[in-house]
Each structure stands twice: as structure tokens, then as C-alpha cells.
């Protein structure tokens, strides 16, 4: 049965992460209600961190930059990933009415199946083959505009992943594995004939099959700044990528099943004058709301717990209780 949406394919020939992320946001901000866009892009020697992550905790930034690499920060939540030319990135962009995560995942899984590889969605945001992750996924929403993006490891340099990413012991322990390398896989180790070009072609084919339609527009771009100039300036800026990092007077850190929380306080006259929360949680709005409800309050366990309680009308009550129970055990 034909779908009611216009299918658009956008390919970037640039390997610059700041440009590619600017294009992604431009597509996201200007998506039409009758459109579904599949955007394919690659970055060279890049670490991309989630919206609320601490770059120095997640990445060996100095080594990355010494090697000519780039640090980038995306809009969505989730964890840090390494991108090189052995990795293909995808983004689905649509309005809320057309945004269908199940269908979007099906496009990826069916494309991989076309290349002789069985895959499935697993965990909170991973696609796996033979029990190992080859795709991490993240999501972002603003009003009724939505995107879903992820990585596809085809022939990535696994040693670079280990070299640049600082995966915490807590995160490794929670996954029950010994190293980053042991829990990820390149698809070309399963199908040696697979490369970026034929995977891109398979994605184009499965996109049309799953949506029962034909791609009505294909756009190829290559660092033409045009309307993305201001967005490029944002993504390439030091403030966006690293942000201000004051010396915090108190830090609380814990890894939950749904992600980690790294809460940092600055105090003045017994009140919280600044609070910064770093996290790889998928829900990036939750992190900003935690900062909002704690800023300016009295620095006491009672006040912190009381203000976190107010988040229960916006988020899962059990999740908020988890955070409160953890803080209740701390000496504050």
C-alpha cells in the first residue's frame, strides 16, 4: 500500500562533522509535514558526544586534536561515538505524524539483511548482529519536529575507538564486557564484500520498500554553507563543543541502567549558585530539567530531594525515585 509521504534522500560529500551536523539541524528545522527525509553522511576522524556529556570525561580530547581529529557535540542525548570513513551515519527527519521509529529501524535492519546479515534492535539504543553492536541510535524532538540518527560500523578502525573514547569502568561493568572492542563489530567482518557504497545503495532500496514509495527528490551537498552558515558557526565553536567548565565544589556521580548522572555543584551563601549535569541518558530534556529545579535552592539533602520530587509530574516516577534514593544515600 503506497504511503502518503514524500520520500527525500540527502547525501553529504563532506567529511566535516560540524558541517554535517549543521545540515542535519537545518533539515530538522525545515521539515515539511508530508516529508520523510533520509540523510546519509560521514565524518573523518571525529568523536561526537551527546548533548549533555562532559567532553573531558568521554574523550581523550588532547590526543584527538593532536592527531588532527575533531570533537563535535550533537543535539541529541546518548553516549559518545567515534566516526571515521569506515562508518556511515544516517538520519531520519520527519514531523511527529510521520515519525515512526519502528519503520525507521526496519529500514536499517532490512538494508543490512539485503547484504546477507541478520540484525535486530537491542538494549536502549543499539542494533546488533551476532550479538555485537554495529549501530548506536539517538533521538531528538522539538515541538513536532523529530529526528532519529545513528552510526553504521562497516570498516571502522577499532583501535582508534579505544584510543579516543574514555569508556568509564561503570559503563563497561554494566554491560558485562571487558572492552569497547569486545562489544562492537564491523559489518564487513560478517560480509567481507560490504562497503560504504553498497550499504548506501541498500539503504536507498530498503527506504523505498519499507515506506512503499519512491524517492521523489535526491540532493547531494558538499560544504555549500548557504543557509547553514550560522549553524556551522555554532557547531564549530569552542563554547558549543566544550562549554564553560568551572571548578566544581562538589560532584556526585552514579551509573544507572538507563544512563549515567554526573551532577556538579557550585555553592554561594549555602545555596546552589551553579549546577551542571552531564549524562549519556537518551532523554536530554530530563537532564536540563534537573539543572533547572536545583539551581538557586538551598544546598541541603532535604531541599534537593523535595525539588526533584517536582519532576514526577513530567517523568516516570520510578526513574525520579531512583535518582532520589541515590542522592539520599550521599553525605550532603
List the CATH number of the domain containing 307.
3.30.390.50
Residue 123 covered by a domain: yes
Taking only the tens of pLDDT, the chain with its 332 residues reads 456 899 999 999 999 999 999 999 999 999 999 999 999 999 999 999 999 888 888 889 889 999 999 999 999 998 899 999 999 999 999 999 999 999 999 999 999 999 999 999 987 688 999 999 999 999 999 999 999 999 999 999 999 988 999 865 555 444 444 445 558 899 999 999 999 999 999 999 999 999 999 999 999 998 888 899 999 999 999 989 987 555 678 889 999 999 999 999 998 888 999 999 999 998 889 999 999 999 999 988 999 999 999 999 999 999 999 999 999 998 77
Are 16 and 146 in a shared domain? yes
Q: What is the pLDDT of residue 124?
A: 66
Residue 1 covered by a domain: no
Are 218 and 259 in a shared domain? no
Are 221 and 284 in a shared domain? no
Could you tell me the CATH number of the domain that includes residue 33?
A: 3.30.930.10
Q: What is the pLDDT of residue 243?
A: 75
Are 160 and 18 in a shared domain? yes
Are 100 and 187 in a shared domain? yes
Q: How is the beta sheet containing 6-12 ordered, strand by strand? A: 120-122, 126-129, 132-142, 145-153, 87-95, 35-41, 6-12, 215-221
Are 261 and 162 in a shared domain? no
Residue 319 covered by a domain: yes
Are 74 and 216 in a shared domain? yes
Are 123 and 24 in a shared domain? yes
Domain range enclosing 28? 6-241
Are 276 and 134 in a shared domain? no
Q: What is the pLDDT of residue 293?
A: 96
Closest CA to 282 of 258, 311, 298, 257: 258
**Could you identify the residue written with the cell 584510543?**
163
Could you tell me whether strands 87-95 and 215-221 are parallel, antiparallel, or unpaired per DSSP bridges? unpaired
Q: Among 194, 213, 241, give the residue marking a domain's end.
A: 241
Residue 22 covered by a domain: yes
Are 100 and 172 in a shared domain? yes
Are 184 and 278 in a shared domain? no
Q: Among 241, 260, 293, give the residue marking a domain's end.
A: 241
Counting the structural domains of the chain, the total is: 2
Residue 90 covered by a domain: yes
Q: Among 241, 263, 280, give the residue marking a domain's end.
A: 241
Are 44 and 103 in a shared domain? yes
Amino acid at each position: 500500500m503506497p504511503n502518503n509521504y514524500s520520500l527525500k534522500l540527502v547525501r553529504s560529500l563532506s567529511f566535516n562533522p560540524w558541517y554535517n551536523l549543521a545540515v542535519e539541524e537545518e533539515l530538522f528545522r525545515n521539515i515539511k509535514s508530508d516529508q520523510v527525509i533520509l540523510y546519509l553522511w560521514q565524518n573523518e576522524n571525529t568523536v561526537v558526544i551527546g548533548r549533555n556529556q562532559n567532553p573531558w570525561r568521554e574523550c581523550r580530547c588532547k590526543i584527538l586534536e593532536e592527531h588532527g581529529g575533531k570533537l563535535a557535540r550533537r543535539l541529541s542525548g546518548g553516549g559518545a561515538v567515534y566516526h571515521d570513513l569506515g562508518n556511515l551515519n544516517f538520519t531520519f527527519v520527519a514531523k511527529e505524524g510521520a515519525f515512526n521509529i519502528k519503520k525507521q529501524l526496519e529500514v536499517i535492519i532490512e538494508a543490512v539483511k539485503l547484504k546477507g546479515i541478520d540484525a535486530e534492535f537491542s538494549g536502549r539504543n543499539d542494533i546488533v548482529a551476532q550479538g555485537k553492536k554495529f549501530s548506536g541510535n539517538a533521538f531528538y524532538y522539538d515541538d513536532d519536529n523529530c529526528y532519529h540518527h545513528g552510526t553504521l560500523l562497516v570498516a571502522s578502525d577499532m583501535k582508534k575507538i579505544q584510543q579516543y573514547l574514555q569508556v568509564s569502568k561503570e559503563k563497561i561493568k554494566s554491560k558485562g564486557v571487558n572492552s569497547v572492542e569486545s562489544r562492537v563489530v564491523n559489518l564487513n567482518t560478517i560480509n567481507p564484500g560490504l562497503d560504504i557504497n553498497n550499504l548506501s545503495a541498500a539503504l536507498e532500496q530498503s527506504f523505498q520498500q519499507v515506506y512503499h514509495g519512491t524517492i521523489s527528490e535526491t540532493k547531494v551537498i558538499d560544504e555549500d554553507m548557504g543557509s547553514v552558515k550560522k549553524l556551522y558557526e555554532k557547531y564549530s565553536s569552542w563554547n558549543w563543543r566544550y562549554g564553560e567548565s568551572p571548578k566544581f565544589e562538589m560532584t556526585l556521580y552514579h551509573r544507572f541502567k538507563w544512563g549515567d548522572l554526573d551532577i556538579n555543584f557550585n555553592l554561594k551563601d549555602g545555596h546552589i549558585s551553579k549546577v551542571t549535569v552531564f549524562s549519556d541518558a537518551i532523554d536530554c530534556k530530563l537532564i536540563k530539567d534537573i539543572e533547572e529545579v536545583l539551581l538557586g535552592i538551598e544546598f541541603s539533602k532535604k531541599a534537593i530531594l523535595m525539588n526533584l520530587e517536582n519532576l514526577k509530574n513530567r517523568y516516570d516516577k520510578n526513574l525520579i525515585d531512583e535518582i532520589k534514593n541515590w542522592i539520599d544515600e550521599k553525605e550532603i
